[in-house]
A and B are shown apart, each in its own frame.
Chain A
Amino acid sequence: MERKTKINAEDGKQELVITREFELPLDLLFKAYAEPELVEQWMGTKVLKLENRKYGCYRFETTDPKGNKYGFNGVIHEFSANEKIIRTFEFENTPFGVQLEVLEFEQLTDDTSKLTIHTIFESVSQRDQMLQMPFAQGINMAHNRLQEILNKLK
């Protein structure tokens, strides 16, 4: 199967580019980022605040199955409908720092569109730590599953 989502993370650089083509018209893709109830649905997070304008800010809160809460926040610097969002992003209480995100929305055809997210980190090591996180979590999850199986065997 074709890989729709592409990650470009050059070695030794403190930036990251994520691109994805969607089978969605441009306005629907943009809406997914602009409407709080839609953001909640696809990101699986609670939207505490989402002010779609310059100087506006946003706050999300995600709760994991164990009840732990994770906060995300940022300030919006540019909000151009169906074109571009420039904002900061902070995953609270983590060592990843604050990132600058440039989201560009493009129409490909009437029914398809493309999103490019350019993220700039404070340092190379912060970027690399962020890249490693899903992998580390994957190992943790696999470990937890193993633990569950072992517990059942007892």
Chain B
Amino acid sequence: MNLRRDVFQAIADPTRRAILLLVASQSLTAGAIASNFDTARPTVSKHLQILTECELLEQEYNGREVYYHVNPKKMKELADFIEAFRKLWDDRFNKLESVMKKYKTKK
């Protein structure tokens, strides 16, 4: 449970969300990512560390360079949280609709 909450905390920060968007389409080095932000380089590194720790980002080594890319599996899991919640309410409301349709014809 703890780990999952961390994923939510990870995406609660606007800079970290921007980082995820940035690397969604391409792998980038920490330097290339940092150049997109006004924030200090160590701050961006910290964000990358958090995103990597909760497995939203993956590192890949290319020579001496470290490239970051999103982990689609983990991102999918994140989307599934909301989807499960939505499904619960959708089922509940479908039930409401069918109960009330029956109620209407009974009258």
> Which A residues fall within an 8 A CB radius of B?
3-7, 9, 11-12, 18, 20, 22-24, 28-29, 31-32, 38, 41-44, 115, 124-125, 128-136, 138
Verify A7–B82 contact, CB threshold 8 A: yes
**Which chain A residues border B96 with CB–CB below 8 Å?**
22, 29, 32, 42
Verify B11–A28 contact, CB threshold 8 A: no
CB within 8 Å for A22 and B86 given contacts A12-B12, A28-B103, A41-B99: no
**Which chain A residues border B84 with CB–CB below 8 Å?**
134-135, 138
CB within 8 Å for A24 and B5 given contacts A5-B90, A6-B86, A132-B81: no
Extra A-B contacts (15), CB below 8 Å, given A4-B93, A24-B97: A4-B94, A5-B86, A20-B90, A23-B97, A24-B100, A24-B101, A28-B100, A28-B103, A29-B100, A32-B100, A134-B85, A135-B80, A135-B81, A135-B85, A136-B4
Chain A nearest CB from B53 CB (Å) reads 18
**Which chain B residues border A12 with CB–CB below 8 Å?**
12-14
Q: Considering only CB atoms, which chain A residue lies closest to B95 in the complex?
A: A42
A56 to B11, CA, bound (A): 39
Chain A nearest CB from B67 CB (Å) reads 26
Verify B5–A129 contact, CB threshold 8 A: yes
B47-84 contacts to A, CB under 8 A, are 80-82, 84
Q: Considering only CB atoms, which chain A residue lies closest to B102 in the complex?
A: A41
Verify A134–B5 contact, CB threshold 8 A: no
Q: Considering only CB atoms, which chain A residue lies closest to B90 in the complex?
A: A5
> Which of B4, B82, B93, B99 lies in contact with A38, CB distance below 8 A?
B99
Q: Considering only CB atoms, which chain B residue lies closest to A33 in the complex?
A: B96
Let me know if B32 is at the binding interface, CB within 8 A.
no
